[in-house]
């Protein structure tokens, strides 16, 4: 949207009495904040950065009459993909976003696998997992089958300077927004000003303007209470409809992110033997899982406390690597399932081009908003100024020789 379109939109909103906010920085960040404090019912946008700023509900295809309106919820993303806001910011560092180009050659599925293999090991630093991934990719030794497979997928990936970026994380988790929680108040449409606007912009007569606006204003005045946004159309929940259609790679990565049991093709025969041994060993005092561990066969056993998940095979191998060698790669232990503690935000002064461009236009947009507000208060000019040149009075009349009086 250009500056002229933005100014026109703000002017029309004022005339119709519709409240609006001029965001100090990113519009998506401001909308996400309004959504998070329940001042709105979601955000209408196609920009995926809305999730990184903390949005909880998003609608797509809202203005496309040929498509269904699609609804996305942050809680559904967490349920089906085990991704909270912090994890989605890390995902953006890998695949790219408005603030970062990401890693070339890393797609969404591979990024999920990376996050599953390298979760944050420090609850106060969100980037510890990706920092370990960076060091491992630069030349660490390969540990366990999962690491070998991941290394093969990333053989052509090159790291960008400054990866992972602390400034990008801070820009998403601590955006500059208007934090007012004052409820919106709707005004009444200014019919007289709308008539003047339609006459000056479209050349409409007052009768034509009334023909279009009066039925709308009548319905507006008859409304007893404000309806929910979902009452105007049928909502299709995308993630619920797509449940069960995920690829095996995605399913395995999601299970690892959620600290659920993951059985690879090479582990399947061993797990079958383990289940058979478990059935035979019931009631004999010693669990088959203990015997399996004593034989050197790693197995994941669900903890009695469901709030804490056990460590994956890869993490077990990493623990062994840390105790045996100091120069090899280190893999983090999985974090508590679904109970990730608050993350301490990193600080940095890295230059982000997108944010600097937005800062340059902030003052300009504010001045335009002030001008629109001033016009709405003073009213539109009811008469056009006469642009014709005024006639000048000449000291001497320029008459022809025949009328000069000299014969």
Residue predicted with more confidence, 370 or 223 = 370
**Residues 303-342: pLDDT tens digits?**
333 333 333 333 333 333 333 433 434 334 333 333 334 4
E-state strands within 195-317: 235-237
Inter-CA distances, 399 with 15, 150, 402, 403, 406, Å: 56, 98, 8, 6, 12
Q: Put the strands of the sheet holding 235-237 in their side by side order.
A: 43-44, 57-60, 69-73, 235-237
* Tokens (6 digits) for 203: 């050349």
- Structural domain boundaries in the chain: 1-19+186-225
Q: Residue 104: CB partners within 8 Å, gap ≥ 6?
A: 157, 158
Task: Using alpha carbons, select from 15, 39, 40 the residue that is nearest to residue 188.
Answer: 15
Residues 25 and 33: their CA atoms lie apart, in Å, by 12
Residue ranges of alpha helices (H) inside 19-159 are: 27-36, 49-52, 74-81, 85-95, 108-117, 128-139, 144-153
Residues 107 and 94: their CA atoms lie apart, in Å, by 8
Strand partners, 70: 60, 236
Inter-CA distances, 270 with 248, 264, 295, 310, Å: 20, 10, 12, 18
Judge whether 91 and 108 are in contact, CB under 8 Å. yes
The alpha carbon of 168 is separated from its chain's Cα centroid by a whole number of angstroms, namely 13
* Tokens (6 digits) for 330: 């280190």
**Residues 5-54: pLDDT tens digits?**
888 999 999 999 999 999 999 999 999 999 999 999 999 999 999 999 99
What pLDDT score was predicted for residue 101? 93
At residue 352 the predicted structure's pLDDT band, cuts being 50, 70 and 90, is: confident
What SS3 class is residue 314?
A: helix
The alpha carbon of 197 is separated from its chain's Cα centroid by a whole number of angstroms, namely 37
What pLDDT score was predicted for residue 346? 52
Average pLDDT over every residue of 205-220: 91
Judge whether 128 and 120 are in contact, CB under 8 Å. yes
What is this structure's pTM?
Answer: 0.63
* Tokens (6 digits) for 242: 């797509």
Question: DSSP label at 161?
Answer: T
């Amino acid at each position: 949207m250009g500056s002229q379109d933005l100014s026109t939109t703000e002017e029309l909103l004022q005339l119709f009495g519709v409240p609006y906010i001029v965001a100090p920085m990113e519009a998506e960040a401001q909308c996400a904040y309004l959504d998070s404090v329940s001042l709105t019912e979601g955000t209408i946008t196609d920009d995926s950065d809305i999730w990184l700023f903390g949005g909880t509900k998003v609608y797509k295809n809202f203005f496309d009459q040929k498509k269904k309106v699609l609804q996305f919820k942050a809680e559904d993303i967490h349920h089906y993909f085990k991704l909270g806001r912090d994890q989605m910011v890390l995902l953006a560092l890998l695949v790219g976003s408005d603030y970062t180009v990401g890693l070339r050659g890393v797609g969404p599925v591979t990024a999920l696998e990376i996050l599953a293999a390298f979760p944050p090991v420090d609850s106060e630093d969100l980037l510890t997992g990706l920092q370990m991934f960076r060091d491992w990719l630069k030349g660490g030794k390969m540990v366990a089958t999962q690491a070998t497979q991941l290394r093969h997928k990333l053989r052509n990936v090159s790291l960008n300077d400054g990866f992972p970026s602390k400034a990008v994380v801070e820009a998403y988790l601590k955006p500059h927004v208007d934090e007012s929680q004052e409820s919106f108040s709707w005004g009444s449409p200014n019919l007289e000003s709308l008539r003047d606007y339609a006459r000056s912009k479209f050349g409409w007569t007052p009768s034509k303007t009334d023909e279009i606006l009066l039925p709308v204003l009548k319905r507006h005045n008859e409304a007893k209470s404000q309806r929910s946004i979902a009452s105007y159309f049928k909502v299709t929940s995308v993630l619920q409809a797509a449940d069960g259609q995920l690829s095996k790679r995605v399913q395995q990565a999601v299970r690892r992110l959620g600290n659920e049991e993951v059985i690879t093709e090479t582990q399947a025969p061993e797990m079958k033997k383990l289940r058979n041994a478990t059935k035979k060993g019931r009631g004999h005092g010693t669990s088959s899982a203990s015997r399996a561990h004593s034989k050197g066969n790693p197995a994941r056993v669900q903890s009695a406390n469901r709030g804490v998940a056990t460590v994956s095979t890869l993490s077990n191998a990493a623990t062994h690597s840390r105790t045996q060698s100091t120069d090899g790669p280190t893999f983090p232990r999985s974090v508590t399932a679904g109970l990730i503690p608050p993350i301490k935000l990193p600080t940095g002064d890295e230059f982000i081009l997108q944010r600097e461009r937005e800062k340059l236009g902030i003052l300009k947009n504010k001045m335009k908003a002030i001008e629109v507000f001033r016009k709405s208060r003073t009213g539109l000019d009811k008469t056009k100024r006469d642009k014709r040149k005024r006639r000048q009075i000449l000291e001497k009349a320029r008459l022809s020789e025949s009328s000069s009086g000299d014969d």
